[in-house]
Structure 1
Amino acid sequence: MTGSKRVRVAVVFGGRSSEHGVSCLTAREVMAVIDRDRYEVLPVGITPDGRWVEETGEWDDLAPGTLPQVRVDRPAFSWDRLRDEVDVVFPLLHGPWGEDGTIQGLLEMADVPYVGAGVLASAAAMDKPFTKTVFSAAGLPQLPYVTVLPWEWEANPGRAIDRIHALGLPVFVKPARAGSSSGVTMVNDWAYLEDAVEAARKLDPKIVVEAAAHGKREVECAVVQDLDGMPVASEVGEIVVDESASHDYYDFSAKYLDGSSQNVIPADIDPTTRERIRAYALQAFDAIGCEGLARVDFFLTDSADGGLVINEINTMPGFTPFSMFPKAWEASGLAYADLVERLLQLALKRPTGLR
């Protein structure tokens, strides 16, 4: 611990991924509710090219449809300060080079407590095909999918295309390790498949192609551990995209830029399905080895068997006051500021290293 009477928390945000701006928004909102009587906050930004800087996390009013960015002209921040000056780190990074176990490994090496999942869970949850392997082993229902590794697409694309065609139309082509629907294309005509693959490969040379969920509804459940370490599931929410908006699915613009989506909490579903979702969310949390927090995403389809399938798990979900994760907990009786406090307390109680 530092000599300060207050706990010193470094809030790390920005980063090298396509979700840089979303991370900045998250950090701004989290820092606004941290109790400054108990905590001294140190904002640390990571620029899009990977430089660490002393930030403020405050931006002037942003134009509609734009996101903030870590400023490259800020003073440099040395990693050593995390070890020497900080009591706990809140790594509010989304996507690769942050949510994927990279910063978690750095903090473990430095013996610094931090909020959220550890190295293995963070890495496995970021890699969609590995997540699906874990979920399959846990017996969780999923949609059919195909993983295309870099060598296969480069050496034998015809084989990959044949495997993808077996899924049937439509399909979603995704980078294997990205979030917020970045690089995702919905393909309704095989003539556009190769373009969709190349678009995804711009973000990640490894891709995953998933069969579409017919008649789907997107529902989500948040999970947080209590102070004894027991995972608890929130109320279930549903993502509803305005039918008049020009979105075929819940893409990046619908999530963050144009206001065409809304969170409906609680979701309009029957009690049995609601409890299945909450049970599956806890099962997924445990299967991947999560700690602290997660958001688990599902599809409800129009199939005769009830049609509940798991989509993915996010170990550091969007965290603005309007994001599904905190809104689901607000609807479950845990306010935004109390949620932030819970996560910091969990991090301070948890040892680094093997556990």
Structure 2
Amino acid sequence: MKKKIAILFGGKSTEHEVSRVSASSVLRNIDISKYDVYPIGITKDGEWFEYTGSIDKIENGQWEKDEYYKKPEGQKVLFNREVDVVFPVLHGLCGEDGTVQGLCRLIDIPCVGPNVMSSAVCMDKVYTKYVLEHFEIKQADYVVVTAVEYGISRDKIIDTIEKKLKYDVFIKPSNSGSSVGITKAHDRKELIDGIEEALKYDRKVLVEKAINAREVEVAVLGNDKPKAGVPGEILPAKEFYDYEAKYEDAESKLLIPADMNGTELEKIKKLAVKIYTALDCAGMARVDFLVDKVTSEIYLNEVNTIPGFTKISMYPKMWEAAGKAYKDLISELIEFAIERNNN
């Protein structure tokens, strides 16, 4: 008998559009000889709908207007336990941060990807740093800024950042993905503007020392015995790999394998698995690194527990380079979810 798989897409986060494109790719590649599929869309307002229309309309956002195919209260598909596994293709808040994972845990349905704790910690860039400092993982120097502190003593905070980090620096909302809300500051005005921009997306902001680095990513797959795929390298069209460079600029390039020798590739793969294990990840994650262009030192950038699954996304491409077809990758993720739920 075929397993019934609920594919969640959309969501309330700033990455709603990217989620739709990722989910469309999953829906086009999932093995329908093995699985019955229930696409469940979540609007930006948080309404859930079971959707049985065209995948193209998911990708372009027209699914919400396709009333003929839309069935209200899609969450009933989950609560009535009509599905065997939930595959949340939800990037960012209210999807990648442990919320949906907690819902699945509550109703005892296997969920693709890491558990509640791992998802929440990896989503929060500040707490990822706090945890991995214990494991002596090299990371860029940083300062944490909260909205309350910034409102009370802005100039003191700016002085502290300039003294500790100097320029250039990156400013990031602690809980955000796809580089939404991230800016690079070269001077005091850009730093203030960047912090205030990041505070639009989160009450907690991470300011990091900029490293003259290459961006290398590693796809990790598995539960208790995770494995790393072929590392890939980002060649951004802009000064850094922001949202536009990731999804809209055709000049951004992906290099698989990364331009590293065999020893360096194995080193970064082992480090990715170490980080994955330290954060108690399961199913999948993409571990992103910064490799200093001068010293070749490797710094952790961030960990993505629901990496992009679009046709240009690194996670499936890195596994394809390792000999794992997209369809097989999806099937393995589903089986890992069942395995973890049973243990």
Give CA-to-partner distance per residue, 1:77-115, whole Å, 9 cap, x none.
242320321111000100011000000011111111110
Query: 2: CA distance between counterparts of 1:130 and 1:303?
Result: 28
The whole-number CA distance in structure 1 between the counterparts of 2:299 and 2:328 is 31
- Quote the residue 2:258 is aligned against: 267
Corresponding residue number in structure 1 for 2:231: 236
- Structure 1 Cα separation of the partners of residues 333 and 58 of structure 2: 29
Question: Partner of 2:22 in structure 1?
Answer: 26
For structure 1, the residue ranges without an aligned partner over 5 or more in a row are: none
Evaluate the alpha carbon distance shift between residue 36 and residue 211 of structure 1 in structure 2; reply closer, same or farther with a 3 A threshold. Answer: same
Please list the CA deviations of residues 258-317 of structure 1 after superposition, one character each: whole Å capped at 9, or x if unmatched. Answer: 22212100111122221221011001101111000000001111343x321111110010
Find out whether 1:175 has 2:178 as its counterpart.
no
Consecutive aligned runs of 4 or more in structure 1 exceeding 4 Å deviation: none
1:13 aligns with 2:4: no
Q: 1:323 aligns with which of 310, 313, 316?
A: 313
TM-score normalised by L of structure 1: 0.91
- Number of the residue aligned with 1:41: 37
Matched AA of 1:315: T
User: Is the 8 Å Cα contact of residues 175 and 204 (structure 1) preserved in structure 2?
Assistant: yes
TM-fit CA distance, 1:236: 1.0
| 1:146 counterpart = 2:117 | no
Report the Cα distance in structure 2 between the residues aligned to 1:347 and 1:198, rounded to whole angstroms.
Answer: 39
Asked if the contact 1:43/1:57 (under 8 Å) is kept, the reply is no
Question: Where in structure 2 are the equivalents of 1:239-258 lying within 5 Å?
Answer: 239-242=234-237, 247-258=238-249
1:160 to 144, 149, 157: 157
1:203 aligned partner:
201
Where in structure 2 are there 5+ consecutive unaligned residues? none
Contact 2:20 2:58 in 1 (8 A): no
Offset of residue 241 of structure 1: 2.1
Whichever residue aligns with residue 202 of structure 2, its letter is D
Per-residue deviation, 1:158: 2.3
Alignment partner of 1:335 is 2:325: yes
- Whether the aligned pair in 2 keeps the contact of 1:24 and 1:69 (CA below 8 Å) is no
What's 2:286 paired with? 295
Of 222, 225, 234, the residue aligned with 1:225 is 222
Alignment partners' CA distance in 2, 1:115 and 1:345: 9
Which of the residues 74, 85, 90 maps onto 1:88? 85
**Residue 71 of structure 1, CA deviation:** 1.5
Structure 1: distance between partners of 2:210 and 2:253? 22
| 1:59 aligned counterpart, secondary structure | helix
How far residue 57 of structure 1 moved from its aligned partner, in angstroms, is 6.0
2:269 corresponding residue in structure 1 = 278
Shift in Å, 1:134: 1.4
Q: Closer, same or farther in 2 for the Cα pair 1:86/1:60, shift >3 Å?
A: closer
CA distance in 1, matches of 2:114, 2:8: 15
Query: Aligned residues: percent identity?
Result: 42
Q: TM-score, normalised by structure 2?
A: 0.94
Question: Once structures 1 and 2 are overlaid, which stretch shifts more, 282-291 or 271-280?
Answer: 271-280
Question: Where is the helix percentage greater, Structure 1 or Structure 2?
Answer: 2
Question: Per the alignment, in what secondary structure is the counterpart of residue 49 of structure 1?
Answer: coil
Amino acid in the other structure paired with 1:187: A
Verify: 1:347 aligned to 2:343, yes or no: no
2-structure distance, mates of 1:61, 1:258: 22
| 153-162 or 165-174, which deviates more | 153-162
Deviation of 1:54 (Å): 1.9
Change (3 A) 1:82 1:57: farther
The residue matched to 1:96 in structure 2 has which SS?
coil
SS of alignment partner, residue 151 of structure 1: helix
